[in-house]
Structure 1
Amino acid sequence: MTKEQIEIIKNCIPILQKNGEDLTKEFYKIMFNDYPEVKPMFNMEKQTSGEQPKALAMAILKAAQNIENLENIKAYVEHVGKTHVKLNVKKEHYPIVGACLLKAIKNLLNADENTLKAWEVAYGKIADFYIQIEEELYKKQA
């Protein structure tokens, strides 16, 4: 990531703190509409209660706050990764999440091209980190 992209992500932290759940609710709406095949991987009770959007909002916030050093959130990612392994989340699911997250950012933040590009690059970095940890967890499970 460039210094400018890192700065854009960090500048989004106050928005994520205030409106992160709105962003993730929009994200889930988009994902379940555009990719209904992933819906069975989710607990709809946690969608209705707001627990899942809140958890994702926290994950995005933590990633944004630590975008320069994701190792700072390794324990958190390992915790999330254990749930992902139980649900059989695979590497190929991450592009779906990325596409839907970018749509949600564009819809809710009226993000310009520089902001969208920064989030695209940041998401790639964050997804790679999650995938790496989850692959280690899958190996331990085997």
Structure 2
Amino acid sequence: MLSASARPYIDASVPVLREHSLDITKVFYANMLGAHPELKNLFNMGNQASGVQQQSLASALFAYAANIANPAALAPVVTRIVHKHAAVGLTAAHYPIVAEHLLGAIKQVLGDAASDDLLSAWGEAIGCWPTC
């Protein structure tokens, strides 16, 4: 469960993600797959090239932030993501890599607007805080 101290940062992310989520996910995938080319076999590279994968993740990030107080609204999306991850062989060992590069992409795209508190809140929201 998201802490009370993290919640305002996720709530405040909604307008930022409306504007920048696609940029964040483009940077995320480029950085993660550049640093870990062995993960390319887990992703549909056609969807990477067309931008479908980046748009899908951008939409999911925005939906997560916009519905953080309404888990029922998120359940169908989360279920779809879980099934997709299981189908392609994503394991628990991959999630720290994803978290590192997602938080790094947020910082890279938002620059100084990505405060330590914002990054900590998102780290908590994606389930890696305080270890990420």
Residue in 2 aligned with 1:89?
90
Do 1:27 and 1:104's aligned partners in 2 also have CA atoms closer than 8 Å?
yes
The total of aligned residue pairs comes to 125
Q: Which amino acid aligns with 2:125?
A: A
RMSD: 1.5
Distance 1:61 1:84 in 2: 19
The answer to which structure has the higher helix fraction is: 1
Residue in 1 aligned with 2:80?
79
Does 1:122 find its partner at 2:130? Answer: no
- Identity over the aligned pairs, expressed in percent? 36
Cα deviation 1:81-140 (Å, max 9, x = unaligned)? 222121011111111110000100111112111111111111117xxxxxxxxxxxxxxx
Distance 1:3 1:33 in 2: 35
Unaligned 5+ runs, structure 2: none
How far did 1:69 drift? Answer: 4.1
Do 1:6 and 1:68's aligned partners in 2 also have CA atoms closer than 8 Å?
no
Unaligned 5+ runs, structure 1: 126-142
Where do residues 98-113 of structure 1 align in structure 2 (5 Å cutoff)?
Answer: 98-110=99-111, 111-113=114-116
Distance 1:52 1:80 in 2: 12
How far did 1:67 drift? Answer: 2.4
TM-score by length of 1: 0.81
Distance 2:20 2:123 in 1: 19
Name the stretch that deviates more: 69-78 or 17-26: 69-78
Greater than 2 Å deviation, 4+ residue runs = 1-4, 66-72
Distance 1:99 1:30 in 2: 10
TM-score by length of 2: 0.87
Distance 1:121 1:50 in 2: 27
How far did 1:50 drift? Answer: 0.7
Report the secondary structure of 2:68's partner residue: coil
Residue in 2 aligned with 1:3?
4
